[in-house]
Structure 1
């Protein structure tokens, strides 16, 4: 089998030791990616080797809406043999050893080393440059060792995740967006979703405008496997704003020039004011307001520090970088469609 979307990046195409055992609906593999034998990719799973390498050993199992990604020109994403990654988890720019289990909704951040035979429990956030030692169960935010693994526990947890693979969701609506907009072919946009010039919606995203609309502002980027579900008043994402990988949010507003970090969960009614940085793995309370000019983090979210110019520059750089990704991937998708027989 092959992934639903297989794209080169900067002239480099993914390489597979053997064809994957399974590639779910909307699965995406890109660029400098090398996978070992017998990989299993769930629905909307995304592997992005753009700007550095993604290397995984034999028998990788990647759950539905899980993301593997790199830090451009800084950190690769390297996984050993027999690694299991749960649903809606994001493993970002780090190193994972053999026989590890990363459960559902986990976020692993840049520069981390997870040694062999580690279990990271569901919902944990592994802070940047952490080291999780071999043979331990790790949990929390930040994730830390909490106890030694019991015999056979790791295999049992891996089996549980694999058996719980979710069925494919219904297909999304067809759309006719402006020429400057990028919508990944494996993203699903349903209902009243409006994308302004330069906006980008990446691989595996699910934007569902139910009772209320979703508006994505100019040059805003919604990164891989985000889930945006508006069920009431609607959701507005203002211009020049970033939603990192695997963010979940509902009705509310995210102001201009803000960044919502990887794996964050914004409860219904959350208002993120302009010029706000939300740390990875943050969880807000319903109706919470995140005031302008601050770094927010924690569960529940709280103001941690005033933003300095260094963080603001980082936020601007990500917007520019993802605008470039959007242009490149739109061109690649268009070329792929033209190359298909009958297209």
Structure 2
């Protein structure tokens, strides 16, 4: 069985040590990904190696709507054997050992090192450059050691996580939006209702934009990354230009300004207003109706001001937007060549 969509990137195509045990609906594998024997990829699982390599060991198991990605210019992702990832989790530009259980809604960030024989409990965030020592259960944001754990419990929790995954919800049919040539919409993304995409914008793999109630308006050169979900229940969602919405983000009816970055795994509650020039940290959440003032890094649950946006953070946000404009052009061409 093969993924629903495989694409080369910069001349590199995915390599599998053997045919995967299972590849779910909408499963997507991109670029320089090397995947070991007996892999299992859930519905709308995304493995994206566009710029650096992703190396996954034997018996890798990726739950529904989870994402494995890299830091394009800086760092790949390297995962050992017998690693189980739950639903709606992100493994990003990091190193993960063998015999590791990563439960649902976990985010592992750039430069983190996760040792062997570890359980990371549901909802945890592993901060950039963190070092998780082998043989412990970790939880919280940031993830901290809670107690020792042995191989038998790790194996039991891996099996339980796999058994609990079950089937994902039915995937409704997608609509083909009318877009200009500069816009990229991934073949495995789903758009429904009144969705307007600005010039140069990108909607990446397995995203779900549901505008059947209120509209979704996305500004020019804005990118919405893999497995993010935008769902309207009222007035709709407006996102300004030159903004990045990271992997596995959840956005309800809200207003998001220009030149923002909504970090991996963040959740934007209904009625939130995010001003221009805001960085919302990975794993952060907002309260309904919350106002995020511009010019700051916000983080936490609920979000609070952590620091002013300095020149380094602003430059990073700009580089991400520029790189995704390039990705969009390259992916449009790659998808067209599949037709």
Structure 2 length-normalised TM: 0.97
Q: What secondary structure sits across from 1:333 in the alignment?
A: helix
Give 1:228's aligned residue: 230
Give 1:237's aligned residue: 239
Shift of 1:151: 6.4
Give 1:38's aligned residue: 38
Aligned residues: 337
Give 1:166's aligned residue: 167
Conserved 8 A contact 1:117-1:136? yes
Equivalences for residues 49-64 of structure 1 within 5 A: 49-64=49-64
Conserved 8 A contact 2:117-2:151? no
Give 2:96's aligned residue: 96
Cα shift readout 1:197-220 (whole Å, capped 9, x = no counterpart): 111000010111131111111100
Which 5+ residue runs of structure 1 have no aligned equivalent? 338-343
Give 1:323's aligned residue: 325
Distance in structure 2 (CA, Å) of the matches to 1:36 and 1:187: 26
Conserved 8 A contact 1:220-1:242? yes
Q: What secondary structure sits across from 1:152 in the alignment?
A: helix
Distance in structure 2 (CA, Å) of the matches to 1:290 and 1:175: 31
Which 5+ residue runs of structure 2 have no aligned equivalent? none
Distance in structure 2 (CA, Å) of the matches to 1:314 and 1:302: 21
Structure 1 length-normalised TM: 0.96
Q: What secondary structure sits across from 2:235 in the alignment?
A: coil
1:278 paired with 2:280, answer yes
1:194 paired with 2:196, answer yes
Give 1:303's aligned residue: 305
Distance in structure 1 (CA, Å) of the matches to 2:87 and 2:203: 20
Distance in structure 1 (CA, Å) of the matches to 2:173 and 2:148: 43
Equivalences for residues 99-138 of structure 1 within 5 A: 99-138=99-138
Conserved 8 A contact 2:49-2:69? yes
Give 1:333's aligned residue: 335
Distance in structure 1 (CA, Å) of the matches to 2:73 and 2:216: 33
Shift of 1:286: 0.7
Give 1:340's aligned residue: none
